[in-house]
Amino acid sequence: MRMRDPAALPRAALTIFVLLLLVPAFSLTEFNPGVLFEARSRETMGKFIASFFPLATSPEFLRLVMRSTLETLAIATAGMAIALVLACPLAVVVARSLSISRIGPGPGYLAGRILRVPARFLLMFFRSVPEIVWALLFVRAVGLGPAAGVLAIGVAYGGMLGKVYSEILESNDTRPTTALLETGSGRIEAFFYGTWPVVLPELVSYSVYRWECAVRASVIMGFVGAGGLGQQMELSMRMLNGGEVSTILIVFLLLVVLADALSALLRKVTA
């Protein structure tokens, strides 16, 4: 007897609908992959790639890249520290899994609702503004340099981390937390004894991933004067020195590999 998937028709209809939506999307973006294979485009891209070689390996430039690399790591790490300070308390406030009123009506029901709404709004506001825009704002406020990048990452990533942390707290097994709350435990005690042991590996994994994203973001923000490798790359590109750019790109690749290895190590430690 042949078995038929009862959801086959809805899935096929949804697939066709998505493909039809892609047609106007590609049209609006003027996307034409054939341009990449035209003779003029191939010649231009070939000259551009050739300008990246040979790599810049002078001792003076390598020392400058090393200093910019350390500055980039410092920007990403300090920015993540500020983001954690913003995200952790807001995530605990927003997460309904830690709400005492969720297990039954209580005196703190109205206060919890009042606190949860502005906390959600803050997280939405922080993450709705791209970090590059925050960097432009803080460059005007504190001047050129890494301080602007630290503040930009701290605010933008605080909103992102808070949003995802709250979802992690709500999506994991909440039975230990609920049991503690039902026996009269407070939110903080329920978090550390009921929620924290369950969600720790996922929180660490996502935090390290966001640190990796912060490294990439700090490079991009360097183009607006926020310091680090990005600012050095912008100077090299302005001087049309492709060898220096390719050296910086290799260093940037090594940073991503380092972040990936650190993430794997921390997952093993917290598993």
Residue ranges per structural domain of the chain: 59-270
pLDDT level of residue 110 (50, 70, 90 thresholds): low
Whether the predicted pLDDT of 104 surpasses 60: no
Give phi and psi for 96, each to the nearest 5: -75, -20
Tokens of 112: 């919890």
Instruction: Assign domain 59-270 one CATH number from 3.30.160.270, 3.30.930.10, 3.40.50.10860, 1.10.3720.10.
Output: 1.10.3720.10
Cβ count within 10 A of residue 12: 10
Predicted confidence band at 4 (pLDDT cuts at 50, 70, 90)?
Answer: low
Residue type at position 172: N
- Mean pLDDT, the chain, whole residue set: 79
Angle at 147 between CA 141 and CA 148, to 5 degrees: 50
| Predicted confidence (pLDDT) at residue 226 exceeds the cutoff of 70 | no
Q: Where does the pLDDT of residue 107 fall: very low under 50, low under 70, confident under 90, or very high at 90 and above?
A: low
% residues pLDDT > 70 (the chain): 84
- Please report, to the nearest 10 degrees, the dihedral formed by the alpha carbons of residues 149, 150, 154, 160 taken in order: 50
**pTM for the whole structure:** 0.75
Residue 83 banded pLDDT, cuts 50, 70, 90: very high
121-125, 151-155, 179-183: range with lowest mean pLDDT: 179-183
Confidence of residue 223 (pLDDT cuts 50, 70, 90): confident
Cα Rg, the chain, nearest whole Å = 24
Report pLDDT for 270: 64
26-71 pLDDT, tens digit per residue, is: 777 777 777 777 788 778 888 778 877 888 788 888 888 888 888 8
Task: Name the band, by pLDDT with cuts 50, 70 and 90, for residue 81.
Answer: very high
Range with top average pLDDT, 6-10, 52-56, 158-162, 266-270: 158-162
